[in-house]
Amino acid sequence: MRKLSTFTFITLDGYYKGENNDISWHTHGQEEGEFSAENLKGDNTLLFGRVTYQMMAGFWSSPAAVESFPEVAEGMNKAEKLVFSKTLNTVDWKNTKLIKGDLIEEIKKLKSESGNNITILGSGSLVTQLTEHNLIDEYQIMIDPVAIGKGTALFKGITHCPELKLVNSRVFKSGVVLHIYKAIID
């Protein structure tokens, strides 16, 4: 059975994106880049919603990403990727498969199959929907030391409060803090 985790960076006031999908407040340095590159070596399948997919595909496949973050760009471009969208008709980022089916049923099916573990990157809407159905096994939340006052909260609209257990933490030199929580699923 595959494990489903989420990796999301947020502000101190709980937003994973600012107004108009702004993430310019997210400025990680070398140490965070090395952490990301190391995580990508785990060969997890990456999972995106449409908005995050379009942003990630546009950046990580660019020459600027390869020049600025060569190891992370290599990992992102090599990774198997899944994108859930009802509006996209095609995807063109290398190693990406488009899934148009029911999110909950497709994730249940993917989790029951053998294969690489799955990691949701960003994609707050997916995180909220999958949290509602107890389908996320682990939450990796990287908290940037900034407050932006407006934006979209990570668990916007959630009606089910998941029970989580802190299993690890890491403080980066920049002041960014990573918390890893395991979901307690009945």
pLDDT at 101 over 70: yes
Number of residues assigned to the chain: 186
Q: How would you class 166 by CB atoms within 10 Å of its CB: exposed for 0-12, middle for 13-18, buried for 19 or more?
A: exposed
pLDDT at 163 over 80: yes
- Count structural domains, the chain: 1
pLDDT at 186: 66
Strands 118-121 and 4-10: parallel
Q: Secondary structure of 26-89 in the HEC alphabet?
A: CCCCHHHHHHHHHHHCCCCEEEEEHHHHHHHHHHHCCHHHHHHCHHHHHHHHHCCEEEECCCCC
Are 136 and 4 in contact, with CB atoms under 8 Å apart?
yes
CATH number of the domain to which 67 belongs: 3.40.430.10
Q: How confident is the model at residue 107 (pLDDT cuts 50, 70, 90)?
A: very high
pTM of the model as a whole: 0.89
Mean pLDDT across the stretch 176-182?
95
What is the residue range of 98's domain? 4-20+28-183
At residue 99, what are phi and psi to the nearest 5 degrees?
-120, 125
Share of the chain above pLDDT 90, in %: 57
What does the pLDDT look like over 119-159, one tens digit per residue?
998 888 899 999 999 999 999 999 999 999 999 888 888 88
pLDDT at 29 over 90: no
Distances 175 to 64, 79, 154, 172 between C-alpha atoms, Å: 26, 29, 20, 6
Tokens of 1: 């059975």
Distance (Å, rounded) from C-alpha 164 to C-alpha 179? 11
pLDDT at 43 over 90: no
Arithmetic mean of pLDDT over the chain: 89
Distance (Å, rounded) from C-alpha 83 to C-alpha 165? 28
Instruction: Name the residue among 3, 38, 12 with its Cα closest to residue 143.
Output: 12
